[in-house]
A and B are shown apart, each in its own frame.
Chain A
């Protein structure tokens, strides 16, 4: 074993609660030291459960969780030494901000002097130097969140878990704190396992994202790979926006396949081992679709009926009917105007063969 063990490993973890169905199924996941990994998925997909199993508040039903290669099964949560930021901050209202931060140091038996120094440093890290004597309920939501983060870091854990820490904040504040959490994580070099249902947040912050769906991981990859190379229709539609056209694979070439959609043929990247004749969903990003009144020279070109156009500032959002699909979206950057296209017009749309991917329909 030359390579050091990953910081955290989930090995074939299954989880069910007393009276529930499987909440987490066959989870295999590794976190590397210093990595920022996000569990992304809709509400109820089992993200919090994964976090709670790592923190030690819920046992895995089967499978094993290891930290630094050592199984933590049976290690009580207060001995795991992880920082946890809870969904609703969980600041203790009867203690001042300073006392909240000093709490983990106090239970670890640090001297008053050490405590004071560490608390001051943690407050500095989240830029709340002047708030030590306030009560949590005298702080704004964003400030409370910073205190919660500082409290999870003040005892210098190597691994920090955060469960939708920004869920209750408004958009601007959320973006600001995303940036700050990222800055702090880089500065301290801690490993972060982050949970959110907001794909923009996951994309903005993470080194890697694990997309959850109904207790299973659909894909783990960097934000870029997730966006450009989704492996499943769920990932394709959950990360960013995608048009999904239902069809059947007609023939398979080298890296490309021909798909029959509502009687018409189109070319798509063939990324699975689907044989000819199988059902598929072809995913096309709206911004990869071009619209013109006249024929273009794309591998895939169709006649489309313009149903609706919304002006969204930086781009136009055009809803079209294509191949019997009435919710086909195209985004046109606001560079050249909309070329005189109006609702009700017939137009031609087109995109390259490698701009769309033929995904396995069965898993959707």
Chain B
């Protein structure tokens, strides 16, 4: 009981700062009550409509009444945005209708009245869009996030190649993350090896060098790469100055994939080195000589004796770097340009600019699932208890 009290603050903190926001966000990806809250009566009528032709007069009447009410209560933008995402142009139709209604004479039926304001009200797809947007639980965001769409006949299929937005970005994110992980491993392994097998004094110094970037702002590190890599930057300047490159053939190394790769690898390298180092430090230094004394060449001794023992570190480091890379935002946003952009920037765009939180949440959930699957595979293959993080 006393021990429980001790972890209570931590529990509260984790719940408030992690579990609740995450759950809220995830729920937004499939649950969006705005439209049904603003147009409850309309949705009620539409629920009984078979979807063919136009809905009954009751739907037009309910819509007219609720539009006026929403305008009064300033609730319209919330709902119209959600409907607009299902069908472009609906925001305008709804706003126009709401504002004009008060000044328009009743034309006998609400259907005629609304049609008088905007011809769109006589289009069945208008009502289908409203009905779809009004469903509080929807997989629409997931369909959109996966570049799927509902076809005319109701079946679900991929959008045409040239209008896919998110799946190419996800593939790119996945490949870049894998690439960065691999680069970090290739660069980090020898470094960790060297730190773990140096005399204590040198090992401390090297470890410090690995950790220094942690004490430097991420923005500073990223902009430093801009200074180095840009067309008029240090590296290009050096290459041109040394006559290796002609002045008009300066390399484009930033605001593209190269920039993303270089900067991300640099930023994430410590997360690879530290777990590797921690595992390597625990390997007795006599193992390599022992293997060699048994007749194995140094290369063979490394492959058969050293490398297998570092697998838990390779796993932990790779997993860590991969997970961080797949959701990485600032660095690719700053140095990636258009071609080096990752899925995270789309998520940020929908959170901050388009305010389509449902889609942002769906994209995030897909990332979360991908990472979780990876983690499960890893724990199956390597065994999570063998993973060493530090």
List residues of A whose CB falls within 8 A of some B CB. 55, 57, 77-78, 80-84, 86-88, 90, 92-94, 103-104, 107-108, 151-152, 155
Q: Which residues of chain B are within 8 angstroms of A104 by Cβ–Cβ distance? A: 294-296
Main secondary structure of the interface of B (DSSP, over half): helix
Pick the most buried of B291, B294, B295: most chain A CB atoms within 10 A of its CB.
Answer: B294
Given A90-B284, A92-B305, A93-B309, also A108-B295 (CB < 8 A): yes
Task: Report B53-90 CB contacts with A as 1/0, cut-off 8 Å.
Answer: 00000000000000000000000000000000000000
- Chain A residue nearest to B283 (CB atoms) is A93
- Chain A residue nearest to B308 (CB atoms) is A94
The answer to the question of B100 belonging to the interface, with a C-beta cut-off of 8 Å to chain A, is no
The answer to the question of B290 belonging to the interface, with a C-beta cut-off of 8 Å to chain A, is yes
Given A103-B304, A107-B296, also A88-B291 (CB < 8 A): no
Given A103-B296, A155-B295, also A84-B290 (CB < 8 A): yes
**Size band of the B side of the interface?**
10 to 19
The answer to the question of B298 belonging to the interface, with a C-beta cut-off of 8 Å to chain A, is yes
Pick the most buried of B292, B296, B297: most chain A CB atoms within 10 A of its CB.
Answer: B292
- Chain A residue nearest to B297 (CB atoms) is A78
Question: Shortest Cβ distance from B222 into chain A, in angstroms?
Answer: 39
Cβ–Cβ contact A107 & B295, under 8 A: yes
Cβ–Cβ contact A78 & B298, under 8 A: yes
Nearest 6 A/B pairs, CB to CB: A90-B290, A104-B294, A84-B293, A90-B286, A86-B286, A107-B296
Q: Which residues of chain B are within 8 angstroms of A88 by Cβ–Cβ distance? A: 284, 286
List residues of B whose CB falls within 8 A of some A CB. 284, 286-287, 289-298, 300-301, 304-305, 308-309
Can you report 29 A-B residue pairs in the complex whose CB atoms are below 8 A from each other? A57-B289, A57-B292, A57-B293, A77-B292, A78-B292, A78-B301, A80-B293, A81-B295, A83-B293, A84-B293, A86-B290, A87-B286, A88-B284, A88-B286, A90-B284, A90-B290, A92-B287, A92-B290, A92-B291, A92-B309, A93-B309, A94-B308, A94-B309, A103-B291, A103-B296, A104-B295, A104-B296, A107-B297, A152-B293
Q: Report how far A108 CA is from B296 CA in the complex, Å.
A: 8
Q: Which residues of chain A are within 8 angstroms of B291 by Cβ–Cβ distance? A: 92, 103
Q: Which residues of chain A are within 8 angstroms of B290 by Cβ–Cβ distance? A: 84, 86, 90, 92
Question: Shortest Cβ distance from B201 into chain A, in angstroms?
Answer: 11
Question: Shortest Cβ distance from A306 into chain B, in angstroms?
Answer: 50
Q: Report how far A103 CA is from B284 CA in the complex, Å.
A: 18
Q: Report how far A107 CA is from B287 CA in the complex, Å.
A: 16
Cβ–Cβ contact A55 & B294, under 8 A: no
Q: Which residues of chain A are within 8 angstroms of B300 by Cβ–Cβ distance? A: 107
Q: Which residues of chain A are within 8 angstroms of B294 by Cβ–Cβ distance? A: 78, 103-104, 107, 151-152, 155
Q: Report how far A87 CA is from B292 CA in the complex, Å.
A: 16
- Chain A residue nearest to B306 (CB atoms) is A92
Question: Shortest Cβ distance from A90 into chain B, in angstroms?
Answer: 4
- Chain B residue nearest to A81 (CB atoms) is B295
Given contacts A87-B286, A151-B294, 4 further A-B contacts (CB under 8 A): A77-B289, A88-B286, A104-B295, A104-B296
- Chain B residue nearest to A92 (CB atoms) is B305
